[in-house]
Amino acid sequence: MKSLKALNHPLSRVEQEIAVLDQPVEGKTFEGFLQEQALFPLKPTTIDILQINMGKMCNQVCKHCHVDAGPDRKEIMTRETMQHCLEVIRKHTIKTIDLTGGAPEMNPDFRWFIEEIRAITQTAAIIVRCNLTIIVANPKYYDLPEFFKKHRIEVVSSLPYFSAVKTDAQRGEGVFGKSIRALEMLNAVGYGVADSGLTLNLVYNPSGAFLPGSQQELEQQFKKKLADGYGIVFNALFTITNLPISRYLAYLMSSGNYENYMEKLVSAYNPVAAMNVMCRSTISVGWDGFLYDCDFNQMLELKVTAPDSQHIKDWNSEQLHQREIIVKQHCFGCTAGSGSSCGGATT
Amino acid sequence: MKTYYNPEDLKKFGKIGEFQKSMADKFFAYYGEVFQEGALTAREKSLIALAVAHAVQCPYCIDAYTVDSMEKGCDEEQMMEAVHVAAAIRGGASLVHSTQMMNKVKEISM
């Protein structure tokens, strides 16, 4: 399977995606919902999280990927851009550094970057969004669990279901089996094990055109099934709603589910979730150093509205704090039901 | 094509109060409470609803509780087993009446 970009798919062009996402759903817009709550324009509350997308290169080609990542994507962050990120981490109080991709581990400077971050701060949380299969993809990655442990990385990994059929349908043939092997390796060094201090969180996102159910209940199911079936333990399950961007948008449209899915997101709008959206406390850094309100806006190439602080090398906290967050119809994905963020439900 | 069942009508279910508000309000309040987490989990209730939907052969309910069951983390095998429970009870309900037939046969036979 290739990326939409490699296939020259119309939705690989952001102007096409935005043209779709600019259409109101039954006459309703996300902006309109925020206005009713006096939340528009949406403003940040703080900048606690720096989410850094280290590149679009990935060993998997998941059907729902909003990054359109894959082996054929060569866009990765340079060491120079990482140096700019380190400057920001050095000078500002960032509580969480959240490394994502693609598969961030495939960036040749990944380990160097983490070592440099830890040299600056021992207290900030460092999250790596690890797709699991990378750990068993090549012998050079086999020691990743030990590396993560040494630097007290929080590992967050997608596992859309506790069976091979559903997981492989979304993430590719054989992914479930490899993910279980990787989880065993993470467990073996202490990740997810009670009182180890090593956090392993899993991410559930629906394998289709439906919303995630109760995070608490799904977590209970996952814990029981993975423990009983495979002896796997983990800390928490994050439920994440699929946002209608890139490959997931292409799936929704080609399967005829787009309108129903959007109506479902709109009808499930939760005002409390709207107050807690993660873009209010996050800055997302693209592989090329540009700044965005979130990873989704990054993929839509909607740069932050801070005019003199659109790139990591030009970081200006004051402007970033005062910016207006860009919202479009995809934002309904973060406010549906119990809310959705990179840390799971928000209410 | 005109049909008796239109999937779009499911979205209008909440508007049945247009013709009789107080009863609809009471029904939906009751309905909402029934599906709350209780002695049974919301997931278990969804599977029961899916099975009943098949027993009463309501296409709206089948659509709604297929989605709901999937949202609550049920897989295809679990959902099909729920439908088999409905089928077993429906089939069993016919078959158990055969005892009446057997009784009658024996009553009128030499």
Nearest alpha carbon to residue A219 among A200, A241, A203, A198: A203
Nearest-CA distance from A218 to chain B in Å?
A: 6
- The answer to whether the Cα torsion of A238, A239, A244, A250 is positive or negative is positive
- Asked if omega into A212 is within 30° of 0 (cis), the reply is no
Nearest to B43 among A208, A211, A217 (CB): A217
Average pLDDT over residues B47-76: 96
Average pLDDT over residues A285-299: 98
A-B contacts at Cβ under 8 angstroms:
32
* pLDDT over 90 (residue B2): no
- Using alpha carbons only, give the angle B52, B57, B59 rounded to the nearest 5 degrees: 105
Pick the residue from chain A with its C-alpha nearest to B65. Answer: A210
Stretch 39-98 of chain B: residues touching chain A, C-beta under 8 Å: 41-43, 67, 70-73, 75-76
How far is residue A156's CA from residue A151's CA, in Å, rounded to a whole number? 15
Domain boundaries, chain A: 10-335
CATH of region B41-108:
1.20.1290.10
* pLDDT over 80 (residue B12): yes
Nearest to B67 among A161, A210, A218 (CB): A210
Average pLDDT over residues B85-104: 97
* pLDDT over 80 (residue A325): yes
Average pLDDT over residues B1-28: 92
Domain boundaries, chain B: 41-108
**Cβ of A217 and B70 within 8 Å?**
no
Helices (H), B1-110: 21-34, 42-55, 59-71, 76-96, 98-108
In sequence order, the β-bridge partners of residue A97 are A50, A126
Q: Give the phi and the psi of residue A25 in degrees, each rounded to 5.
A: -105, 115
Q: Considering chain A, what percentage of its residues have pLDDT values greater than 90? A: 99
Nearest to A211 among B41, B71, B75 (CB): B71
Nearest to B70 among A210, A214, A221 (CB): A210
Q: What is the mean pLDDT of chain B?
A: 95
Give me the pLDDT at residue A120, please.
98
CATH number, domain A10-335, options 3.90.1600, 3.20.20, 1.10.10, 2.40.128: 3.20.20
User: Strand, helix or coil at A76?
Assistant: strand
Within 8 A of B67 by CB-CB distance, chain A residues are 210
* pLDDT over 70 (residue B1): no
> A33-92, pLDDT tens digit by residue?
999 999 999 999 999 999 999 999 999 999 999 999 999 999 999 999 999 999 999 999
Pick the residue from chain A with its C-alpha nearest to B69. Answer: A213
**Cβ of A163 and B75 within 8 Å?**
yes
> A178-225, pLDDT tens digit by residue?
999 999 999 999 999 999 999 999 999 999 999 999 999 999 999 999
- Asked if omega into A339 is within 30° of 0 (cis), the reply is no
* pLDDT over 90 (residue B35): yes
How far is residue A231's CA from residue A128's CA, in Å, rounded to a whole number? 23
Tell me whether 0.90 is exceeded by the ipTM: no
Residue A89 tokens, joined: 């981490």
Q: Residue for token digits 């894959």? A: A70
How far is residue A282's CA from residue A338's CA, in Å, rounded to a whole number? 19
What does DSSP assign to residue B17? G
How far is residue A173's CA from residue A167's CA, in Å, rounded to a whole number? 9
Give me the pLDDT at residue A101, please.
96
Nearest-CA distance from A221 to chain B in Å?
A: 8
How far is residue A131's CA from residue A121's CA, in Å, rounded to a whole number? 25
**Cβ of A206 and B41 within 8 Å?**
no
- Residues of A within an 8 Å Cβ radius of B: 161, 163, 165-166, 204, 206, 208, 210-214, 217-218, 221, 263
- Using alpha carbons only, give the angle A153, A159, A162 rounded to the nearest 5 degrees: 130
**Cβ of B71 and A206 within 8 Å?**
yes
In sequence order, the β-bridge partners of residue A303 are A292
Give me the pLDDT at residue B3, please.
85
Give me the pLDDT at residue B4, please.
87
Average pLDDT over residues A108-135: 98
How far is residue A5's CA from residue A68's CA, in Å, rounded to a whole number? 7
Within 8 A of A161 by CB-CB distance, chain B residues are 75
Contact call for residues A160 and A195 (beta carbons, < 8 A): no
